């Protein structure tokens, strides 16, 4: 097995080292057992989800928007005032004279005729 030192001084030193090491191992065992007995902390709550991008939106006439406009939901030109609307309402608004956005052209996928100049 292992060759041990032949003299008493080195044997006593080895004994001391082994005793200290055994004490550290036993303390670590106690610490791990205590952690295992404690309930696991709950994970932090998930961040809130972004609202779903609407398929269609409307911007009302006002400052910066001379007429009511219909947009696709992901249109970059819609600004922050885009109000989500249904496909049926988008078609109805376009039929009633709302202007389709020149950037996203919602009239095309909605099957509406192009606006007359």
- pLDDT tens string 53-108: 889 999 887 766 678 899 998 998 887 888 999 999 999 998 888 899 989 999 88
Overall number of domains in the chain: 2
Identify whether 95 is part of a domain: yes
Q: Which range is least confidently modeled, 4-8, 10-14, 65-69?
A: 65-69
User: Is residue 106 a part of any domain in this protein?
Assistant: no
Q: Report the chain's terminal Cα–Cα distance, integer Å.
A: 99
Structural domain contains residue 43:
no
Q: Verify that 60 and 89 share a domain, yes or no.
A: yes
Q: Could you tell me the pTM of the whole model? A: 0.54
Q: Is residue 41's pLDDT more than 80? A: yes
pLDDT score for 45: 92
Residue 27 lies in a domain: yes
Count of CB atoms within 10 A of residue 98's CB? 22
Report the alpha-carbon distance of residue 63 to residue 59 in Å, rounded: 11
Domain ranges, residue 96 = 56-100
Asked if residue 46 is part of any domain, the answer here is no
């Amino acid at each position: 097995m292992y060759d041990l030192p032949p003299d008493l001084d080195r044997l006593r030193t080895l004994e001391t080292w082994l005793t200290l090491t055994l004490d550290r191992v036993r303390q670590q065992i106690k610490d791990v057992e205590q952690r295992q007995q404690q309930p696991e902390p709950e994970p932090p709550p998930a961040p809130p989800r972004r609202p779903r991008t609407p398929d269609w939106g409307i911007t009302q006439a006002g400052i910066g928007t001379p007429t009511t406009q219909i947009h696709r939901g992901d249109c970059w030109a819609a600004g922050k005032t885009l109000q989500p609307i249904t496909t049926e309402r988008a078609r109805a608004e376009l039929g009633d004279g709302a202007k389709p956005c020149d950037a996203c052209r919602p009239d095309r996928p909605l099957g509406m005729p192009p606006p007359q100049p």
